[in-house]
């Protein structure tokens, strides 16, 4: 059984969209989405520097556009399940047929702008903790006033909070944590700092036409397989201010009998976690169109 997954913010790198625009029809799709949401995705995906695409309002639509473009390039496939990390859940929702691709781009544009505005209120950020025991790490983070915003499994937890709190973490690491790495994001996502964005997303979601997922959709709120479109959307709205539990998603992949995982563009982060947490599961990260043939072969082998 194959699961198709979509990465979250921080996976973007300068120029990563460039080779994808050479695929038939890709430039036209990106241009149409750009016009619809008022953001030049081609420019940001091919010419903008790292600081420009770090902007939450830019990064999120760019990631969803790239994810949908690369998933479509795989052809007519039917994975056993889909999931997304953070903003990648919007990519997964569109792929599962819960919302249209156009609505996904509109929703993620609203999400990015709302979260950017929320992040501007207080200087906040996120940092990945490598190593350590969650039973030790989580209470330590809470003692410092930080939130375990992403519990990613494979020995990785992402802390979020104010810059002062993150600086204190660098000086006072939890026992067993080897390293604290600042992430290239512009705010403390999936924490109470993002609460103002929830209301704006609720308003945007109210105008969507929603269908039940045509594929098994695994939610990163709690790793549960969600069966109704209404529940998917409710979770998409609430997740901006609540922790991502990717560890629980991977536990569900095990329970479903997943044997292979393909991560859509810009792949790498989630396949890295799967290699450590899902031994025996074959993984493939789609980074450029050169990876498509290998991805199709893996899909055929595990469908």
Q: What is the pLDDT along the chain (303 residues), one digit of tens a residue?
A: 999 999 998 899 999 999 999 999 999 999 999 999 999 999 999 999 999 999 999 999 999 999 999 999 999 899 999 999 999 999 999 999 999 999 999 999 999 999 999 999 999 999 999 988 999 999 999 999 999 999 998 778 999 999 999 999 999 999 999 999 998 777 899 999 999 999 999 999 999 999 999 999 999 999 999 999 999 999 999 999 999 999 999 999 999 999 999 999 999 999 999 999 999 999 999 999 999 999 999 999 997
Radius of gyration of the chain (CA): 18
Letter string b/e over residues 225-253, b meaning 16 or more CB atoms within 10 A of that residue's CB: bbeebebbbbbbbebbbbbbbbbbbbbbb
CATH number at residue 149: 3.30.70.250
Query: 235 and 104 in one domain?
Result: yes
Give the C-alpha distances (Å, rounded to integers) separating 201 from 9, 11, 195: 18, 23, 10
Tokens of 223: 């790793």
CA gap 221, 290 in Å, rounded: 33
Vertex 216, ends 210 and 218: CA angle to 5°? 90
Query: 289 and 141 in one domain?
Result: no
Residues forming beta bridges with residue 153, ordered by sequence position: 156
CA gap 110, 101 in Å, rounded: 14
Query: 263 and 157 in one domain?
Result: no
Q: Which residues are catalytic?
A: 86, 190
Three-state SS for 170-186 is HHCCCCCEEEEEECCCC
- Number of Cβ within a 10 Å radius of residue 49: 10
Query: 170 and 82 in one domain?
Result: no
Query: 129 and 112 in one domain?
Result: no
Query: 200 and 71 in one domain?
Result: yes
Query: 17 and 71 in one domain?
Result: yes
Give the C-alpha distances (Å, rounded to integers) separating 33 from 64, 78, 216: 11, 24, 26
Vertex 221, ends 75 and 204: CA angle to 5°? 75
Which pLDDT does position 137 carry in this prediction?
94
Query: 95 and 225 in one domain?
Result: yes
Looking at 132, 147, 182, the residue that finishes a domain is 182
CATH number at residue 203: 3.40.366.10
Query: 96 and 18 in one domain?
Result: yes
Which pLDDT does position 64 carry in this prediction?
98
Q: What is the residue range of 214's domain? A: 2-120+191-302
Domain count, the chain: 2
Which pLDDT does position 15 carry in this prediction?
97
Query: 160 and 268 in one domain?
Result: no
Tokens of 225: 């397989």
CA gap 3, 81 in Å, rounded: 5
Which pLDDT does position 153 carry in this prediction?
87
Query: 167 and 135 in one domain?
Result: yes
Which pLDDT does position 118 carry in this prediction?
93
Among residues 91, 85, 87, 32, the alpha carbon closest in space to that of 59 is found at 87
Among residues 16, 7, 17, the alpha carbon closest in space to that of 88 is found at 7
CA gap 134, 119 in Å, rounded: 26
């Amino acid at each position: 059984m194959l699961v198709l997954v979509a990465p979250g913010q921080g996976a973007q790198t300068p120029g990563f969209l460039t080779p994808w625009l050479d695929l038939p029809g890709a430039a036209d799709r990106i241009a149409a989405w750009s016009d619809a949401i008022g953001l030049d995705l081609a420019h940001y995906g091919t010419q903008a520097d790292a600081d420009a695409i770090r902007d939450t309002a830019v990064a999120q639509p760019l990631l969803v556009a790239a994810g949908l473009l690369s998933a479509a390039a795989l052809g007519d496939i039917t994975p056993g399940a889909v999931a997304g990390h953070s903003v990648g859940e919007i990519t997964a929702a569109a792929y599962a047929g819960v919302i249209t691709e156009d609505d996904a781009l509109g929703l993620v544009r609203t999400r990015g702008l709302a979260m950017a505005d929320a992040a501007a209120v207080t200087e906040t950020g996120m940092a990945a903790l490598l190593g350590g025991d969650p039973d030790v790490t989580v209470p330590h983070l809470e003692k410092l006033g930080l939130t375990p915003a992403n519990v990613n499994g494979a020995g990785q937890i992402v802390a979020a909070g104010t810059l002062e709190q993150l600086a204190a973490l660098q000086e006072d690491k939890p026992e067993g944590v080897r390293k604290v790495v600042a992430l290239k994001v512009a705010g403390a996502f999936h924490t109470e700092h993002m609460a103002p964005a929830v209301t704006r997303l609720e308003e945007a979601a109210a105008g969507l036409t929603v269908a039940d997922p045509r594929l098994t959709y695994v939610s990163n709120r709690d790793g549960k397989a969600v069966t109704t479109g209404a529940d998917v959307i409710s979770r998409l709205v609430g997740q901006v201010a609540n922790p991502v539990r990717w560890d629980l998603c991977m536990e569900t992949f095990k329970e479903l009998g997943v044997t292979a995982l393909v991560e859509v563009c810009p792949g790498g982060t989630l396949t890295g976690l799967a290699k450590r947490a899902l031994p025996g599961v074959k993984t493939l990260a789609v980074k450029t169109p050169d990876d498509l043939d290998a991805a199709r072969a893996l899909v055929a082998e595990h469908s």
